[in-house]
Amino acid sequence: MIERIKTYWKTTLCAIVIIYLSLIREVPLLWQPIFSWRDKIFHALAYTALTLLLFFEMRQDNVTEPRQTILLFCIPICLGGIIELLQHYFFAPRVGDWADFAANTIGTFAAFLICRIFVTK
């Protein structure tokens, strides 16, 4: 387990930051919505970053297809779903939101497309 964390330290750090920001009671002023979809853009960007980090660290770890593709989708999407459930059931006044989950998933798909289109094998 420690070896995996050492190998995937950037992804782990990004996930910890996402989890922290998703579960804290008081949302930092920077994250307060100025317009109605700003929150969703932050969600998508955070999960794009998480998935990109995961992709590059999996390449360094020589993870091959199709395992790489499956993990690139499953890990970020499951993390987003678990966080939304935790917010809904355990972290009032935070609430789980399907739109947040959709934004997380869109960010994951965006990173996957970026990797497939712009990163050579």
Domain total of the chain = 1
Q: Look up the domain containing 73 and give its range.
A: 2-22+36-118
Q: Does some domain include residue 27? A: no
Q: In b/e form, how buried is each residue of 50-82, taking b as 16+ CB within 10 angstroms?
A: bbbbbbebbeeeebeeeebbeebeebbbebbee
CA-to-CA distance for 112 and 95, rounded, in angstroms? 28
CA nearest neighbour of 54 among 85, 26, 46, 2: 46
Between residues 116 and 34, the one the model is more confident about: 116
Residue 2 pLDDT > 90: no
Q: Does some domain include residue 59? A: yes
- 18-73, pLDDT tens digit by residue? 999 988 876 655 555 555 677 899 999 999 999 999 999 999 998 888 888 898 89
The set of residues, in sequence order, having a beta carbon less than 8 Å from that of 69 and lying 6+ positions away, is 112
Q: With 0.85 as the threshold, say if the pTM is over it.
A: yes
